[in-house]
Amino acid sequence: MLTKIIRRTMATEVKRVPIPRRGVDYRGKVVLAPMVRSGELPSRLLALKYGADLVWGPETVDYSMIGTSRRFDEESKTVEWFRVSSHGQKDPPPDAKESIIYRLHPELEKDKLIFQIGTADPDRAVEAARLVAADVAGIDVNAGCPKPFSTSGGMGAALLQTPDKLCAILEALVKNITPEYEIGISVKIRLLDTATETEALVRRLCATGITGLTIHCRTTPMRPRERAIRGQLRMIAEVCHEFGVACLVNGDVEGRDHGLQLAEEFGADGAMIAVAAEKNPSCFRSKADGGMAPWEEVVEEYVRTAIAVDNRFGNTKFLLSNMIPGRSKFYQPVNQSKTYKSICEALSLNDHLEAAIAVDKRRGLDQPLQGKAAKKAAAKALAAANAQSPKPEQGKDQKRKRKMSDSRPAKQVKASEPTPVAAAL
């Protein structure tokens, strides 16, 4: 199938925008979609292991990147962009909480990772892109996410209603990022209400100098459960080819073979997979190379990878809840796990126990969590001890300690099986 696409391209002598030296050509590629939570580092590495040609990271808002610092973590061999919570202080204390905004593995994904930015301003887009451009293979602008957290700030699908702003953002990135870092700029959009409107927008976007365009074959109001609309796809691909821009199809793509089949059928250059990859990333493996792997194999590989890169535990549990069938006997034990060690025990992954215990210790997951009853008993014991103490200022101290003991952490909600969020972007 891939050979057919390449031959078709050569036969028709399709115009091509030059690909920068460090950039990548999207033609003939089947790639991982940008997904909140489901596009974090271990998910991307697993997709690459099973055959994804490129991987998109989750949408990262420009404001969150600006002001971060970059460092290399020797333990996990990853590059991290982080910020320290200052709470308005000029010099935050040494024990101030850190927030990791973005992570990548320079050895395993640097030349295959596309950084997707959420932005509504050309200058901020350039400022944020500069921070990560030297470490990735391309910058993609999110102009398709319909979620309020994105559209309320004028980002994501809101940009489809402000084409002047969207084009200005792309032009600023092409002008400032491509020459300096030698990577391409691309955009991901959704369908507009009519084919005429979509065509007009695609023409404007392709004229900005981008190297690739991904079309999610749904309109902004459509939800993932609604069937993708492919009636405009051939027209979009043809417009892209007029400008030499690669076109990827997204929406209800089930796997590598299906993606290449769609590209062949509608004249696109490749495909992007979201929901199917969230459930089982071995969908990137062609049938000729073995096809889909059993979920048990994929889950073990995911756990191993998550431990190796010291992934956030909550994110790991979220992905496992999508990969493990709800009716499986393993689902509830994993869903109730509080540590990597307990996950490995629930899945009988004894070979990974030692590494899991080490990560638990590093992240502080090995510390016992007190339930409500235990916390209440401890508070009563403390109050009783204070009542018997002959120290001066007794009443004052007791009142203060009671107040402190009542400042309990927020109630922990038992996790339930989440619904896929992949196709929202």
Q: What is the enclosing helix (H) or strand (E) of 118?
A: strand 113-118
The single residue of 145, 206, 217, 283 carrying the catalytic annotation is 145
CA distance 125 to 146: 19
Tokens at residue 23, please? 């950039």
The answer to whether the beta carbons of residues 302 and 323 sit under 8 Å apart is yes
DSSP state of 243: T
DSSP string, 119-168: -S-HHHHHHHHHHHGGGSSEEEEEE---SHHHHTTT-GGGGGG-HHHHHH
Helix (H, G, I), strand (E, B) or coil at 212: strand
Count of CB atoms situated within 10 Å of the CB of 153: 16
Cα distances (Å, whole numbers) of residue 105 to 21, 110, 118, 130, 289: 21, 7, 21, 18, 26
Of the candidates 293, 273, 275, 248, the one whose C-alpha atom is nearest the C-alpha of residue 419 is 275
- Is 167 annotated in the active site? no
DSSP string, 82-94: EEE--TT-SS--T
DSSP state of 11: H
The answer to whether the beta carbons of residues 4 and 258 sit under 8 Å apart is no
Burial zone of 173 (CB within 10 Å; 0-12 exposed, 13-18 middle, 19+ buried): buried
DSSP string, 8-29: HHHHHT---PPPPTT----TT-
For residues 282-318, one letter each, b for 16 or more C-beta atoms within 10 angstroms of the residue's C-beta and e for the rest, the string is bbbbbeeeeebbebeebbbbbbbbbbbbbbbbebbbb
Tokens 């600006």 sit at which residue? 66
Looking at the DSSP bridge assignments, the partners of residue 247 are: 213
CA distance 360 to 339: 6
Go through the chain and tell me how many residues it has: 425
Helix (H, G, I), strand (E, B) or coil at 187: strand
CA distance 291 to 285: 5
CA distance 120 to 168: 10
Active-site positions read: 145
